[in-house]
């Protein structure tokens, strides 16, 4: 069994001072490319740094082909594969890849593929890049770039850190590493790759350090998997500019956090959307909270349908009264016997919440769903959204979508996808309160 190197927290400011300065001259940003960026997102929260980009929550060939014909430079396909055990995730991703390949043959446009995944390293690795490599490759190299700056996730000296207070905490020292489905012990990304290959043949690994990125003579790499360090957007800008300038480069496959996608698409940052935005203009003065006790629902399958119906009626009563309504589950984490069972429990919980929304007949002004599996299922199963426009962010790192005409339940509804691992514990409450005070 591989022994992981132990890393300790570092002060953020000390780490920042230890890095080479960003050159004052900056770089030339060149986004001229005929290649369309297709982002396969294993969780809907990956849209947390972009705006005015489409996301498909279905993967039928005709839907993908229609999106390809828009001429837009990039789009997301929500796979939500992180919510499934590896065998189901494999079947799902293979279906998506087959449809994507077929659509690509119909619409003669070359694509680059990004596997957007968790900046705290949870997800199906190396399974997903291996499947993409087989279906759409072969790719000359994989680029691993998990930094997500808005969420305080940076990569320094090949170590993935989470910014907490004044410190950078190695990711293996955080609760994310204890995930029952995707846990790990390595903060060093080279070691993490070896750990995740779990005794299999590991491709050659190299890394591009921040010092490499910020030196005048550019970037060079020759290995199969490249670990890309980054402390700021400037570091990604340098890498992408070097790629654009390179001649005869091998095809690349990217597994990244959200920030890399923003840079690759050349999207300029915008502030969180103002509270005066018309979709949120009807003010409510009260928030009513309905608590869903998941353990009791799981134990009482016979009465589950009646309970869901009663909860939906409570929601309708609250909304009819002009109030905002919060449906929340208990905070107790229920584990299964193994990783697959733990994922299945989470899906059962999400299914109950979906059924409550499906049964609700009163349209709210907007919706918020917190957590990756929950927000994906509410979008695809409860609202039946097939395509949405990412408008921007409701708060830093919190995506705001608007469904288009493909939403069968409430077309055009503003939909806030609230990540489970972003922001302070108070942020969700502050966001809801601010909307009904606007």
pLDDT digits (tens, 9 = 90+) for 310-328: 888 988 888 888 778 888 7
Question: Do 78 and 132 share a domain, yes or no?
Answer: yes
Residue where one domain finishes, among candidates 341, 364, 387: 364
Question: Do 206 and 69 share a domain, yes or no?
Answer: yes
Summarize pLDDT for 235-282 with one digit per residue, the tens: 999 999 888 777 556 788 999 999 999 999 999 989 888 644 432 222
User: What integer is the mean pLDDT of 408-422?
Assistant: 86
**Side-chain half-sphere CA neighbours of 311 within 13 A:** 26
Question: Do 256 and 320 share a domain, yes or no?
Answer: no
Residue with more model confidence, 409 or 331: 409
- Report the alpha-carbon distance of residue 270 to residue 267 in Å, rounded: 9
The total of structural domains in the chain comes to: 2
CA-to-CA separations, 348 to 105, 171, 232, 303, 333, in angstroms, rounded: 38, 29, 39, 15, 13
Summarize pLDDT for 349-381 with one digit per residue, the tens: 778 889 989 999 988 888 888 888 888 999 999
Question: Do 196 and 54 share a domain, yes or no?
Answer: yes
Q: Please report the pLDDT score of residue 280 as a whole number.
A: 27
Residue with more model confidence, 342 or 395: 395
Q: Does residue 164 surpass a pLDDT of 50?
A: yes
For residue 231, tell me if it sits in a domain: yes
- What is the CA 20 to chain-centroid distance, rounded? 30
- Binned at pLDDT 50, 70 and 90, residue 146 comes out as very high
Q: Does residue 17 surpass a pLDDT of 60?
A: yes
Question: Do 300 and 354 share a domain, yes or no?
Answer: yes
Residue 15 belongs to a domain with what CATH number?
3.40.50.10840
Residue with more model confidence, 346 or 264: 264
Summarize pLDDT for 298-307 with one digit per residue, the tens: 555 545 677 7
Question: Do 45 and 193 share a domain, yes or no?
Answer: yes
For residue 273, tell me if it sits in a domain: no
Please give the structure tokens belonging to residue 161: 């850190």
Selection from 373, 168, 152 nearest residue 257 by Cα? 152
Q: Does residue 197 surpass a pLDDT of 70?
A: yes
Residue where one domain finishes, among candidates 332, 364, 396: 364
Which pTM was predicted? 0.88
Question: Do 178 and 29 share a domain, yes or no?
Answer: yes
DSSP result, 279-325: GG-S--S-EEEEEE-HHHHHH-GGGHHHHHHHHHHHHHHHHHTT-EE
Q: Please report the pLDDT score of residue 284 as a whole number.
A: 29
Residue 298 belongs to domain spanning: 282-364
Question: Do 206 and 326 share a domain, yes or no?
Answer: no
Residue whose tokens read 């055009």: 412
Q: Please report the pLDDT score of residue 278 as a whole number.
A: 31
Question: Do 179 and 315 share a domain, yes or no?
Answer: no
Q: Does residue 31 surpass a pLDDT of 80?
A: no
Strands of 414-418's sheet, edge to edge? 205-208, 225-228, 141-145, 252-256, 111-116, 36-41, 74-78, 53-56, 387-395, 398-403, 414-418, 367-370
Q: Does residue 72 surpass a pLDDT of 80?
A: yes
């Amino acid at each position: 069994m591989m022994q992981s190197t132990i890393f300790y927290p570092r002060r953020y400011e000390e780490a920042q001072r230890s890095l080479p300065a960003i050159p004052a001259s900056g770089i030339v940003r060149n986004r001229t490319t005929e290649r369309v960026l297709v982002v396969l997102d294993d969780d809907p929260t990956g849209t947390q740094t972009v705006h005015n980009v489409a996301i498909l929550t279905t993967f039928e060939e005709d839907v993908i082909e229609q999106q390809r014909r828009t001429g837009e430079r990039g789009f997301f396909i929500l796979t939500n594969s992180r919510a499934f055990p590896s065998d189901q995730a494999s079947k799902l991703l293979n279906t998506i890849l087959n449809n994507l390949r077929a659509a690509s043959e119909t619409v003669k446009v070359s694509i680059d593929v990004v596997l957007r995944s968790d900046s705290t390293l949870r997800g199906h690795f190396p399974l997903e890049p291996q499947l993409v490599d087989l279906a759409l490759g072969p790719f000359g190299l994989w680029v691993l770039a998990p930094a997500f700056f808005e969420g305080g996730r940076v990569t320094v000296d090949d170590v993935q850190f989470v910014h907490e207070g004044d410190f950078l905490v190695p990711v293996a020292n955080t609760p994310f590493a204890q995930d029952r489905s995707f846990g790990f012990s390595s903060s060093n990304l080279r070691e993490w790759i070896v750990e995740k290959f779990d005794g299999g043949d590991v491709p050659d690994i190299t890394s591009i350090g921040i010092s490499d990125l910020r030196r005048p003579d550019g970037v060079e790499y020759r290995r199969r998997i490249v670990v890309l360090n980054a402390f700021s957007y400037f570091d990604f800008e340098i890498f992408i500019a070097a790629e654009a300038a390179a001649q005869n480069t091998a095809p690349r496959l990217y597994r990244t956090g959200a920030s890399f996608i923003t840079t690759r698409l050349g999207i300029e940052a915008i502030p969180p959307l103002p509270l005066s935005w018309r979709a949120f203009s009807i003010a409510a003065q009260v928030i009513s909270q309905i608590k869903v006790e998941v353990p009791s629902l799981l134990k009482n399958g016979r009465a589950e349908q009646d309970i869901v119906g009663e909860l939906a009626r409570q929601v309708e009563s609250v909304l009819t009264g002009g109030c905002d309504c919060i449906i929340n589950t208990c905070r107790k984490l229920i584990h299964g016997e193994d990783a697959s069972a733990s994922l299945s429990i989470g899906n059962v919980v999400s299914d109950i919440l979906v059924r409550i929304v499906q049964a609700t007949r009163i349209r709210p002004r907007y919706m918020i769903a917190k957590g990756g599996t929950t927000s994906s299922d509410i979008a695809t199963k409860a609202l039946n959204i097939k395509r949405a426009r990412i408008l921007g962010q409701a708060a830093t790192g919190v995506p705001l979508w608007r469904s288009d005409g493909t939403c069968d339940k409430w077309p055009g509804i503003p939909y806030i996808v609230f990540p489970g691992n972003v922001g302070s514990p108070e942020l969700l409450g502050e966001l809801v309160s601010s909307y009904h005070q606007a």
